[in-house]
Amino acid sequence: MHFKSLSTALLGASLMALSACSGGSDTTPAAPKQDVVKTPATMADILAHPRRADSTARDRFRNPAETLEFFEVGPGKKVGEIWPGWYTPVIAPYLAENGGTYVAVLRQGETERILKRNAAFTDKYVGAEGFGNIELGKFGDEDTPILETGDLDILLTFRNVHSWMRGGYSDKAFADFYAALKPGGILGIVQHRLPESATQDPDGGTGYVQESYIKDMAKRAGFEFVASSEINANPRDTADHPFGVWTLPPSSHVPKDAKKIPEGFDAQLFKNIGESDRATLKFRKPL
C-alpha cells in the first residue's frame, strides 16, 4: 500500500509539471494586433477646438468654414495667408491634420512695431502643438518675392486691400501674389466692400473698396476672375461711417478728441450693425 501510494503521488507530480511546461491547456493562437488608424480632424472639429474659445464670437461675421470651402481649401493643399492672425488657428491645424502645408506670410519691414508683431506671431504659433510645420514668407512694399518657390495652391488675404492702396503698392501686391501661386492656383480675397454707386478713394482711406476696383487690380496682374460669394455680406452696413470701417466692430473706434466726434454720434448704433459688409472674391492664375 505504501509503494502504490508513492507511485500515484509521483505520477500526479509529473502530470502537473508537464502541464506547467506546456503553458496550460489553452492552445488558441493570439489574435493579430490591429493598427489604430487616426481619422483626420474635420473643419468642424478644428472650429470647435478649445484653442479657439476667444475667437468663436466672430465666426458669425467671418464664416470661416463656408469661406475656406469657397476658396477651395482642402486636404493636401499648400495654402499661404497674407499677414496672418485670426485665421491661423483655423487653417494651420486643419492642414496639419490633412496632409497640407500652411505658409504664414508675415509683414516686411524693420520697424519696431513690425518686428514685435512678427515675433509675437512666431512665438505663439511656430512649433505650437497641433499647428504642424508652419512655413514663413514675407510681403510688403519691398521688391522681394513672397516665396522663392512660387508653388502655392492657394493664397488668401482678409481685409487688407485698403492697406496696400494706402501704402501705394496695390499693383505690386497683386503681381507678387501672381508670382507666389502655381499655375491654376487660387487667390482668395475678403475685403470691406464699398457700394459701386459710391466714389472710390484710390488711397482706400475709409477701409472700403469696390469689387470692381479689386477685379481691375487682379486683372492687371494677370488673374482670371472665377466667382464671388455673399458669404460675408452684411446688408446693414452702409459703408459711410464717420470713422470709416473702424467705426464698426471689432474696432468700434471713437476718437479721444471730443471735437472730432460728430454731433449726435451714438456708438451703440454702430455696434448694432455688426462687422462690415464684405466682398468675397475668388481669382485664378491661368494654367
Say how far apart CA 197 and CA 146 lie, in whole Å.
Answer: 35
Q: Is the pLDDT of residue 281 over 60?
A: yes
Burial of 79 (0-12, 13-18, 19+ CB in 10 A): buried
Q: Is the pLDDT of residue 265 over 90?
A: yes
Say how far apart CA 110 and CA 121 lie, in whole Å.
Answer: 15
Residue 177, in any domain of the structure: yes
Cell numbers describing residue 224:
482670371
* CA distance readout (Å), 105 to 80, 82, 136: 7, 5, 6
Residue 52, in any domain of the structure: yes
> Which range of residues forms the domain containing residue 154?
39-239+276-284
Closest C-alpha to 270, from 234, 221, 225: 234
Query: 82, 72 in Cβ contact below 8 A?
Result: no
Q: How many domains does the chain have?
A: 1
Burial of 10 (0-12, 13-18, 19+ CB in 10 A): exposed
Mean pLDDT, the chain, whole residue set: 91
Q: What is the pLDDT of residues 177-204, one digit of tens each?
A: 999 999 999 999 999 999 999 999 999 9
- Label residue 7 by pLDDT band (50, 70, 90): very low
Q: What is the pLDDT of residues 13-55, one digit of tens each?
A: 444 444 444 444 556 666 666 666 678 899 999 999 999 999 9
Residue 8, in any domain of the structure: no
Say how far apart CA 84 and CA 78 lie, in whole Å.
Answer: 15
Residue 158, in any domain of the structure: yes
CATH number for the domain harbouring residue 144: 3.40.50.150
Q: What percent of the chain has a predicted confidence (pLDDT) above 90? A: 86
Residue 246, in any domain of the structure: no
Residue 32, in any domain of the structure: no
- Mean per-residue pLDDT for 75-82? 98
Residue 86, in any domain of the structure: yes
Q: What percent of the chain has a predicted confidence (pLDDT) above 70? A: 87
